[in-house]
Amino acid sequence: MDLQERFRAAAEAVKHADAMVITAGAGMGVDSGLPDFRGDTGFWEAYPPYWKLGITFVGAANPEHFERDPAFAWGFYGHRTNLYRETVPHAGFGILKGWVERFRLDYFVITSNVDGQFQKAGFAGDRIMEVHGSIHHLQCTRPCTMAIWENRETIPVDEATMRAGHVPRCIHCGDVSRPNILMFGDYGWISDRTAGQQRNFDEFLSDIGGRRLVVVEMGAGTAIPTIRYLTEDLGSRRGAMAVRINPRESQIRAPNLSISCGALDGVAAIDAVLAEDAFL
């Protein structure tokens, strides 16, 4: 099956589905101009000061920094907060939302991204599960309570040193706060918000039962394969079809579909087929 035939098969799956699950990894944001931190080199290209310090993405995304050096910790997460707030979701988000509306699909979004781009693109908050949490929500570093609150902080960052000029504080005890994100080696993450999203997703799956399901995965790599495993599990359900869109790691077991290209190019090509079919 050549690439165009795969686009057509994916379009048929979307057109005849009753429900859609959108699964997305870091590659989903690349077309919006966001870095995906692929490998140490990719991380250092996005954040040159860390190359000079010899710090990798895993080293920067370590919760211990919030206790040892909060200004350093918030330099990384403050910069990312500001970047995600300024980023405009690429057109692929709108294409996916258009399929939901055009074909009257029940839907759910599962993402390992913490950037809040699906919410910004207009997807309903109660139809999204952020498996690693969200940078747009905070919690206490200790933590003093199980509270999670919206991140409304203004965090200036000196990009030469990657240190924050303001360290957000817990609204309950005044100690240092941190993003409500699952970091590497993290034993302090409060997972209650994500657990609530998981319950919504479980209810969604129960409601759709054996109806025809299409799963559209974009930009989910193999380094942390959480999203890929979920896609494959959903694609194995009776009456389901999974479409994996990935420029480098698109392989997936048949009869599911493998499409080797970026997220925006992939959904745009599928949408082009759907647009042609509308005029036939």
- Residues annotated as part of the active site: 132
Contacts of 110 (CB under 8 A, 6+ apart): 21, 22, 23, 24, 128, 129, 131, 201, 227, 230
Residue 58 contacts by C-beta under 8 Å, 6 or more apart in sequence? 184
CA angle 53, 56, 168 (to 5 degrees): 80
Whole-angstrom Cα distance, residue 164 to residue 154?
Answer: 10
What is each CA distance from 116 to 81, 142, 233, in whole angstroms?
A: 10, 25, 25
Residues 6+ apart with CB under 8 A from 149: 137, 138, 139, 171
Is the CB of residue 70 less than 8 Å from the CB of residue 174?
Answer: no
